[in-house]
Structure 1
Amino acid sequence: MNSIKAIKKKLNLTYRDLEKQTGLSAMYICYLAEGKRTNPSLEVMQKISSALGKKVEEVFKLN
């Protein structure tokens, strides 16, 4: 579970915006946000969190 979609919406960002900032594909980020892809690497979580201006723990539920 993650907060990508909610944070992205609050910041008025698109998946394309995140793609440009992270170097990850917009589709991959969308799949993560929708829960269709799970278990991203730490590097991926750091890139997305940084682009959203948040800590990894704020964006992704870590066990």
Structure 2
Amino acid sequence: GYEPVAEIGIGAYGTVFKARDLQSGKFVALKNVRVQNSENGLPLSTVREVALLKRLEHFD
């Protein structure tokens, strides 16, 4: 799990927090996404953002 430490920013889709990974102790950016009710699942814009974020890598 993660422990939120501080709010980094608020955008159109949600809020980004600085958080600490409870297993590794490393700090991460954690996004709490607001998703409006949708009968057909997640909005396409949300799916695209998740796909893009999955491809990102950060080397310490």
With normalisation by structure 1, the TM-score equals: 0.27
Q: Which structure shows the higher helix fraction?
A: 1
Task: Compare relative contact order (CA 8 Å, sep 6+) and give the higher one, 1 or 2.
Answer: 1
Structure (1 or 2) with the greater strand fraction = 2
